[in-house]
Structure 1
């Protein structure tokens, strides 16, 4: 990845963090306590996770995963606890400070952009909030998810299926068809079964089976 490409991804990451921050500032404490689409986490916990991700470089990540016995669940919980405030307002303050951070454990910047895009929807959808990410950001994440397993097993999940967007220039893979909005395809590749309701095609049933 060139320096220009890295800079463009950071620009998109910062914009999506700022977009989410704008939505968070209007939420009530009750809404922060609601379950997100991220299994087992409340809205407040997802926000804290995003703050942790924005502040975790390579060596911090390595130390944490080693101390957690290479258990991703314990690793995520350890980092999340550092950035979850004593109140939702404090959690949001921590996230606000992280919006423009340029820290990442690897140079897989489309994956970290995907983390912000997906977790923003994890928060917004259960709350009935309209949160529309930049189409360029969604396209970058979709291409990456279709090509590589990283934070999520997106490539494995989509293997043997053809994913085609109705609203963007994205057509990936071969096999039974799955069509819909690009954002819904991204959420499906991220393993969110809720996204399947908005998708069509013979491949949707196979995706549902793989997620179960």
Structure 2
């Protein structure tokens, strides 16, 4: 494994453990909180993270074959497979899988996208604050901007826009400016709802899908 891949996996493993720590104190009813993923609650997203952590290349191919190449169906089956009767048992499964380096046949940057975006899918509805390495967020944004929406990316959403991370000054693309914290840019590009006030600049309405103010 090269140095870049090693560093990426170290970040992913750390984020899995950090999320597990954040969720260890949840009350029973909080596990049923709706996540940012439509139709999934917090426990569902946690089970999905266990499934993706445990799924290697051959496992992914087999799951897609069984789901007749329906990605959403494969994800739902993965949740059913890994969702324990008790959320704490599912949480223990994530902790046990946190150090795994399994991945589907895809760019390793997808592991960063999963760690950050799904981390926020869970944390934001619960009022928890995530703290992600800026370089990991930047790498995840770059990957999402190269990847079509049909493959889970956000290339079309950011077309004609220049995204600028207000914390680091890093920019991507060309067009109307959208200025925000890197995590908010990543979420918006990934199709997650982001409060309009968290993004500024003339291109912000186009990225968040909100009308421009007169």
TM bucket (normalised to shorter chain) is over 0.9
Contact preservation (8 Å) 1:196, 1:208: yes
Indicate the SS of the match to 1:153: coil
* Runs of 5+ unmatched residues, structure 2: none
Q: Which residue of 2 aligns with 1:31?
A: 30
Q: Which residue of 2 aligns with 1:205?
A: 205
1:22, distance to aligned residue in structure 2 (A): 0.8
Q: Which residue of 1 aligns with 2:57?
A: 58
Contact preservation (8 Å) 2:37, 2:121: yes
Note closer, same or farther for the CA distance 1:98–1:195 as it changes in structure 2 (3 Å cut): farther
TM-score, structure 2 normalization: 0.92
Contact preservation (8 Å) 2:43, 2:83: yes
Contact preservation (8 Å) 1:117, 1:133: yes
What are the superposed Cα offsets for residues 131-180 of structure 1, whole Å, 9 maximum, x if unpaired? Answer: 21122221221222222337523122112111011101421111111111
Contact preservation (8 Å) 1:36, 1:123: yes
Q: RMSD of aligned C-alpha atoms? A: 1.7
Q: Which residue of 1 aligns with 2:18?
A: 19
> Distance between the aligned counterparts of 2:61 and 2:159, measured in 1?
29
Tell me which moved more, 192-201 or 80-89.
192-201
> Distance between the aligned counterparts of 1:131 and 1:4, measured in 2?
26
> Distance between the aligned counterparts of 1:169 and 1:12, measured in 2?
22
Q: Which residue of 1 aligns with 2:163?
A: 163
1:37-56 → structure 2 map (5 Å cutoff): 37-56=36-55
1:89-100 → structure 2 map (5 Å cutoff): 89-100=88-99
Note closer, same or farther for the CA distance 1:67–1:158 as it changes in structure 2 (3 Å cut): same
Contact preservation (8 Å) 2:194, 2:208: no
Q: Which residue of 1 aligns with 2:180?
A: 180
Q: Which residue of 2 aligns with 1:88?
A: 87
> Distance between the aligned counterparts of 2:81 and 2:196, measured in 1?
34
1:107, distance to aligned residue in structure 2 (A): 4.9
Contact preservation (8 Å) 2:146, 2:153: no
* Runs of 5+ unmatched residues, structure 1: none
Tell me which moved more, 84-93 or 63-72.
63-72
> Distance between the aligned counterparts of 1:152 and 1:21, measured in 2?
25
Note closer, same or farther for the CA distance 1:68–1:197 as it changes in structure 2 (3 Å cut): farther
What are the superposed Cα offsets for residues 36-68 of structure 1, whole Å, 9 maximum, x if unpaired? Answer: 111110000000000100111111111111211
